[in-house]
Amino acid sequence: MAEKEINKYEAGFSSDAKKEPVRVVFITKKTSAKVIGDAGPRVMTYPHLLIREAIAFMALVIALVGVALFWDAPLEQLANPLLTPNPAKAPWYFLGLQELLHYFPPLVAGIIIPTLVVIALVIVPYFDVNIQGAPLWSGNPKRTLWIFLAVVITLTSLLGLFRAWTVLVPTEIIALLMLSSYRGSATQKGGAVAWWRRERTLSWWVMTWFISVAIVLTAVGTFFRGPGWSWVWPWSSHAG
C-alpha cells in the first residue's frame, strides 16, 4: 500500500540546502506538474498581527456595548414545572434538531442524526482524497449522474415518506442546482456563473446542502412554529 502511495505522487524538494525549500512539486500521472506556489512574504507578528487583533477587539467591544445598552436579555416568569408553555422551545441553535424531532422518531432525530453529523465533520479532512479539487462532473460524468440520481431519489422518497417538507425543499433546490451544473460539463458554454458552478467539488455541494438544510430548519423552528408545533406566520399574532 505504501508503495502505491509513493507511485501516485512524486515529490521533489529544493536541493539548495542553504535556502529553505519554498517549492514542493506534485506530479501526478493524470495531470501536468502543479506547483504549490509561494504564498507571499512574511511579516513580524509583533506588531503587524497583534495591532490588528487589538483593533478587532476594540471594535467588537464597542459594538457589544452599543447593542447591550439598548437590547435587553430576555427574562420570563419564575420557572414553574406545572405550567408548560406551548410550544416549549430549545435555544435557537437546537431548534433545527427540534424541527427534525417533529418529523422523525426521537432516536433518529435526537441521537442518530446529530451523532452522524459530528462524525461526518470529524472525518472530513481524512476522507478528502480529492487533492486536485476535481469538479463533481469531471472524470466519468454519466456514471456520476446515475449515482447522483439514485441518491436523490432515495433521499426524496425517504423524506416524503416522513412528510419532512422543511428538509425536502432545501434538499430538492440543492439537487436541482447540482443537476443544472451537469449539462455544462460537456460544453464550455455559459457565463461566469455557469463556469463557477461547474467547478464545484462534491464536498462543496455536500457542505452547502448541509448548511442550507440547517439554516432552513433553524429559521422555521425559530419563527414559523407555534402551539403544538403547528405552522404559524411570524407576522400573525396568536394566543399562546
Partner 1 sequence: MANSFSMPPALEWLRATRVWKSIFRRGPALTNRSRSLAVFGNLFLHLLPVKVREKSLRVRVSYYLGSISFLLFVVLGVTGVLLMFYYHPAVPQAYRDMKDLRFVVSNGVFLRNLHRLAAQLMVLAVFWHMFHVFYRGGYRPPHEFNWVVGVVLLLVTLFLSYTGYLLPWDQLAFWAITVGTNILSAMPLIGRRIRFISLGGNLVGENALLRFYVLHCVVLPLIAILLVAVHFWRVQKDGGLTVPEEDGGKGN
Beta-ladder partners of 12: 25
Q: Which residue has the cell 506538474?
A: 33
Contact range with partner 1 by CB under 8 A, out of 47-55, 143-151, 190-198, 220-228: 47-55
Radius of gyration of the chain (CA): 25
- Judge contact between 113 and 103, C-beta under 8 A: no
Beta-ladder partners of 197: none
- Judge contact between 152 and 175, C-beta under 8 A: yes
Dihedral angle computed from the Cα positions of residues 231, 234, 239 and 240, in that order, rounded to the nearest 10 degrees: 70
Q: Considering only residues 38, 193, 235, 236, which one is a binding residue for partner 1 as defined by CB under 8 A?
A: 38
- Judge contact between 177 and 216, C-beta under 8 A: no
Q: Based on the shown chain and the rule CB under 8 A, indicate whether residue 12 belongs to the binding site for partner 1.
A: no
Residues numbered 93-112 forming contacts with partner 1, rule: CB under 8 A:
93-94, 97-98, 101, 105-107, 110-111
Q: Based on the shown chain and the rule CB under 8 A, indicate whether residue 82 belongs to the binding site for partner 1.
A: no
Q: Based on the shown chain and the rule CB under 8 A, indicate whether residue 15 belongs to the binding site for partner 1.
A: no
Q: Based on the shown chain and the rule CB under 8 A, indicate whether residue 76 belongs to the binding site for partner 1.
A: yes
Contact range with partner 1 by CB under 8 A, out of 46-54, 166-174, 175-183, 226-234: 46-54
Residues numbered 165-224 forming contacts with partner 1, rule: CB under 8 A:
204, 207, 211
Contact range with partner 1 by CB under 8 A, out of 14-22, 72-80, 163-171, 229-237: 72-80
Q: Based on the shown chain and the rule CB under 8 A, indicate whether residue 11 belongs to the binding site for partner 1.
A: no
Within 10 angstroms of residue 185's Cβ, the number of other Cβ atoms is: 17
Determine which helix (DSSP H) or strand (DSSP E) holds 64, and give its type and residue range: helix 45-70
Q: Based on the shown chain and the rule CB under 8 A, indicate whether residue 41 belongs to the binding site for partner 1.
A: yes
Contact range with partner 1 by CB under 8 A, out of 79-87, 163-171, 188-196, 224-232: 79-87
d(CA 200, CA 205): 7
Q: For 111, which DSSP code?
A: I
User: How many residues in the shown chain lie near partner 1 by CB under 8 A?
Assistant: 69
Beta-ladder partners of 36: 24
List contacts with partner 1 (CB under 8 A).
34-50, 52-53, 56-57, 60-61, 64-65, 67-69, 71-81, 83-85, 88-94, 97-98, 101, 105-107, 110-111, 118, 121-122, 124-126, 128, 131, 133, 204, 207, 211
